[in-house]
Chain A
Amino acid sequence: MTATAHPDRNFKYWLVSPAIFLLLLIGLFPLAFSLVVSFMRITMLETDTSFAGLVNFTQLFKDSRLWGSLFHTALIIAIALPVELVLGLAMAYLFLDKMPGRQLFVSLLVLPTIISPIVAGATWRLLFDNRYGPINQILGWFAGHPVPALWTVNPNLVYPAIVFCEIWQWTPFMFLILLAALSNVDRSLTEAAEIDGARFWRSFRFIVLPAIWPVMAIAILIRGLDLFRIFDIIWALTEGGPGTMTETISIYTFVQGFRQFETSYTAAIAFLVIVLLTVIVTWAIRRMGLAK
């Protein structure tokens, strides 16, 4: 009865099918294609395109440079993400109250975020330059003698330099989002907590944090994913050097694909990244309670 009573019951699927098809074409096709490529023996230097089986994937596990690059990426995330979060939150608190010139200051503070990361990286490379850069110059004034720090070469200084640039550029993003979230917290709640005798931490932990958490979790997720893909700033500053010391997974993938032309192997790396990210993001979304 249902089938005859509703002859056009399936019509809606026909209506959405072109859009679905298009999405599959642009979304799924490259994925499937790279999966196919990862099982072959394609490089851009030879014409051999024979089937390779799992060779590329077993190679992944033996590639210490790959795992090193993943470790470098994780290291940068582990430092930059919490610092950006805490710094952004502190700044948002500072700008929560009305004050003269607030609008102007907020706009100025957000400027780094609107610069292209590759340009920001190049600019910082100039600023960090060991002979002509103003940073060494200024440090020299304080030290009382010339400071010839090799910010983009010295193994002890490259990570601080990279993480500093990353934080400089992306803290304003956290700041802006958290400022919006904090502004929406009901003022009378924090006032009630203050009268109740709660100090900052208790009031933040039980009242403010639960209120801003959904927004904050999204901000952490977005920044976390961005950091996982970090490329431009490091490329501009060190190109992954010295040696492979600051090579992140994005840089390593790029180098494999477009410097060493290992097309199939690059596809395998890309697939590994996809699997890793899917697992981590799914876990994070569950953990942060965003799936509800």
Chain B
Amino acid sequence: MSDLKISGLHKHYGSFHAVKGIDLEVPSGEFTVLVGPSGCGKSTLLRTIAGLEEASAGRVEIGGKDVTWARPRDRDIAMVFQNYALYPYLSVYENIAFGLRARKVAAGAIDKRVKRAADMLGIAPLLQRLPRELSGGQRQRVAIGRAIVRDALLFLFDEPLSNLDAQLRDDMRVEIKRLHQELGRTMIYVTHDQIEAMTLADRIVLLRDGQVEQLGAPLDLFERPATRFVAGFLGSPKMNFLAATVTEGAVVLSDGTRLPLPPGRKVREGQAVILGIRPQHIAMAGAGALPGHVRVAVVIELVQPTGSRVHVNMPLGGTSIIAEFAAHDVTAPGERTTIDIDMNRAILIDPQSETVI
């Protein structure tokens, strides 16, 4: 059974076409992340699901009911906003209880549910405070509490962590994932942060220019991107893209470097391609070459330590590629070294259609 079904959804703002025909079905209990660069229509899509925006065309079904023209309050949804949207003149308790009071839940039940939600989120001691007396992380917890207390069919999150600092964001991400496991509810989560998308999602819907670019499990998208856009969007540091030509069963870069053709790809002799290599699939050359790896001599250009790992830039094929090594593999720029590139996991992209071959 699916809790949400969207078909042929369009949204126009005047002459701006924000959502261009989206079909999406979200199974019960799934954590779906809508991700994409800013302006891709992900927030608009979420707001249309919530009923805060009217669909220009298409259909939205929640829990098997057509709600395309229903008011937000009649849709059985709860939502967490980017700026928390806590009611400033009500206490934390009243903020959480607001939706229950509006829906005429019995007073005793309200108290029990508010306290249970507060316990779940560790905000029980804050119940009598006003939102302005809370820190950002606490406010976000209250906002989540306000959503989960409602026991709605569908939970919507609109970039809930983007106003938090990095440390807090990591904590809250864990918290949200844990909540999803405990509640087992259908959640739809909008973010522009690919790490949030990868870590939280059962399924990622990657949007671009108001359309679904690719949809699937996080690792599917990461390992088998359908287009250059998907390959470049997911993963950090970004995938390296190198212009190349297929010559005599090899991929030849613009500086003449010959790399073996990844197995099982349908390419013509002389075809122009873009070679995509993830920074994680480049390693410092070890004792013996691994199968499918190719050894290349390079000069280190730039070193960015991140703690346990180090990001290293080096010129290859007429551009600067980035590789991720263990922290102590590289010492200084200017060093000459050899690297192993895992060609089995490299991808080839058709430069015209930008789709993966």
By a beta-carbon cutoff of 8 Å, the part of chain A in contact with chain B is 186, 188-189, 191-199, 202, 206-207, 210-211
Contact = CB atoms under 8 A, between A and B. Distances in A.
Contact of B81 (A188, A206, A207): A188
Interface string B75-89: 101110111010111
A188 B89 CA distance: 15
Nearest to A198: B102
Contact of B83 (A188, A196, A202, A207): A188
B52 A197 contact: no
B317 interface: no
Given A188-B83, A192-B79, A192-B81, A197 B88 contact: no
B85 A191 contact: yes
B87 A206 contact: yes
B79 A195 contact: yes
Given A191-B52, A191-B72, A196 B88 contact: no
Nearest to B101: A202
B82 to A, nearest CB: 8
Contact of A186 (B50, B79, B85, B103): B85
Contacts of A196: 73, 78, 98-99, 102, 146, 150
Nearest to B105: A197
Given A188-B81, A191-B72, A197 B103 contact: yes
B85 A206 contact: no
29 contacts: A186-B83, A188-B85, A189-B85, A189-B87, A189-B88, A191-B81, A191-B85, A192-B79, A192-B81, A192-B87, A192-B146, A193-B87, A193-B102, A194-B52, A194-B71, A195-B50, A195-B73, A196-B98, A196-B102, A197-B102, A198-B98, A198-B102, A199-B102, A202-B102, A206-B89, A206-B90, A206-B98, A207-B89, A211-B88
A198 B73 contact: yes
SS of B interface (majority): loop
B151 to A, nearest CB: 12
Contacts of A191: 50, 52, 72, 81, 85
Contacts of A194: 52, 71-73
A197 B146 CA distance: 12
Contacts of B73: 194-199
Contacts of B71: 194
A276 B280 CA distance: 81
Contacts of B90: 206
Nearest to A210: B89
Interface in B201-258: none
A189 B50 CA distance: 14
B78 A207 contact: no
Interface of B: 50-52, 71-73, 75, 77-79, 81-83, 85, 87-90, 98-99, 101-103, 146, 150
B160 to A, nearest CB: 12
Given A196-B99, A198-B98, A199-B102, 12 more contacts: A189-B85, A191-B72, A191-B81, A191-B85, A192-B146, A194-B73, A195-B77, A197-B102, A198-B73, A202-B102, A207-B87, A210-B89
A207 B72 CA distance: 17
Nearest to A191: B52
B72 A195 contact: yes
Contact of B88 (A195, A198, A210): A210
A182 B90 CA distance: 19
A193 B89 CA distance: 13
A213 to B, nearest CB: 9
A223 B50 CA distance: 41
Contacts of A206: 87, 89-90, 98
A199 B99 CA distance: 11
A191 B43 CA distance: 14
Nearest to B77: A195
Contacts of B88: 189, 210-211
Contacts of A202: 101-102
Contacts of A197: 73, 99, 102-103
A25 B90 CA distance: 48
B63 to A, nearest CB: 15
User: Which 5 A-B residue pairs are closest in the complex by CB-CB distance?
Assistant: A196-B99, A210-B89, A188-B85, A192-B85, A197-B102
A290 to B, nearest CB: 16
Centre residue among A195, A198, A206 by max chain B CB count within 10 A: A195
A55 B281 CA distance: 103
Contacts of A189: 85, 87-88
Contacts of B78: 195-196
A178 B194 CA distance: 43
Nearest to B98: A196
A77 B203 CA distance: 63
A70 B145 CA distance: 54
A198 to B, nearest CB: 4
Nearest to A202: B102
A197 B88 CA distance: 18
A186 B73 CA distance: 19
A197 B77 CA distance: 10
Contacts of A207: 87, 89
B83 A193 contact: no
Centre residue among A191, A197, A207 by max chain B CB count within 10 A: A197
Nearest to A209: B89
A232 B98 CA distance: 48
Contacts of B99: 195-198
A247 to B, nearest CB: 43
A195 B102 CA distance: 10
A160 B239 CA distance: 77
Nearest to B74: A197
A189 B84 CA distance: 9
A196 B90 CA distance: 14
Nearest to B90: A206
A291 B51 CA distance: 41
Contacts of A195: 50-52, 72-73, 75, 77-79, 99
